[in-house]
Structure 1
């Protein structure tokens, strides 16, 4: 190493030349104490506790919006069907075909509709193994499923191994108290009767001109709390689409052919979400009730194509007025 010095007029004592130090300054590091770590964990826990409900609420809001959009799509399909055939489809017919099957071409499911066989026997039967009608009932159609429904996509039910649960049913009206006339309440009718005051029932051919209460005052499709595993009084809370094996024997003459029409239609004689709110109600009435997996009510499609969320606290007379097409009522505030 060479040390450079400057000349000066005055001589100074020589200073030793030393090399620069290569040692690094020492720094002390300090970690979290146990108390500080516990505080941080507690803060994170509080933040997560505050954030999760907000995330869940946002997700449910999105699911509710999608559910309403499904009903709007169904409403559009029903209107197109009416424009084409000058009537709404049957609630169900004597082949067990339901309203949701009839409008498949109108909701962009024409290819699936073309596979159906319209006959009573052989491959046309809904219970024929590996038949096209059975396979149609095993096909997932997102338009017919609410995103909030807590059920698997497929269930083994009524002889259809991969049957797909549905979220929406037709409104048969306000009068029926059972699927079967033998179990209906006194002075009421069952879904076997052709004298319903709603839009969808056995071989119904309802037209816009029949909706005397006004299309904006009449509901035609409602959400349903589907839970096939819940059975009360021998009645399962199960709802399906396209075809129904148990409904198949229906003769559309007001007789006793067929059963379990509640799989595809409901009534407003029972309150919204009766499965949850009225546990003491008979199973025959309960399965006719509309409801949903949303908190506080359910979505309904009106005949004018609009969708409303009807709350569980809706007055009974207002709910009944919305359920009938020609009762002459003036629904109050929803």
Structure 2
């Protein structure tokens, strides 16, 4: 009955619901990531197990059409996976250095990055509200670097890593719109290729580690609830309402993650960082407003 009701909704409404669900599931990813890092597991090893598990969950969704993909499609998949790998790796490094709340806040400047990507590749104009959103994104990142931290160098490094993750994530989102294949099949490809990459890097790095029984359940949740679920619903949302709108609806995630960071890991933000978080929230709100005036910056 619920499926019938959902299918009767307008495409735009379905896309919005997909985006909200993806955000809620994805908000728990930093929590379980931090739990695994606390055990001493390396970022590469953690990401290998995460994507291996996600691939095992996703393989059951493959169809016969998947094995008929053209060579050009595989090239596109590899490119999109590369951006996803960059984003995943540098986000984990950032979270390890500066905590999940601050790192996710910097990561969520990616809608501003998407504005420029759409301008460069699609030749779209930058609207008035998007222009102010970009300025607020820059301001928020600057304020995030002004917090009270054990080492200013570590704080700056963590913010820079999160910015790299933000650019990688924006490129990944942009790339997913170019695919006509089923969302779960694309999700499987991205997770499988990411798993292979991190298996190689963790193996050559000499820090490969097997999961203990205590780690296993956290890893299962990390792979299924926090990886396959959000990726699948995010791609569904992108295909129904586009990249920018999907990204902006995801604005609920950083606030939730900041709260979870304080709840589970006793993370704190300084006054200036809270100001940066408020600037980020205003940026996301402005970006969701109807676009009217246009400013051609390029």
TM-score (norm 2): 0.31
Give the structure with the larger helix fraction: 2
Give the structure with the larger strand fraction: 1
TM-score (norm 1): 0.29
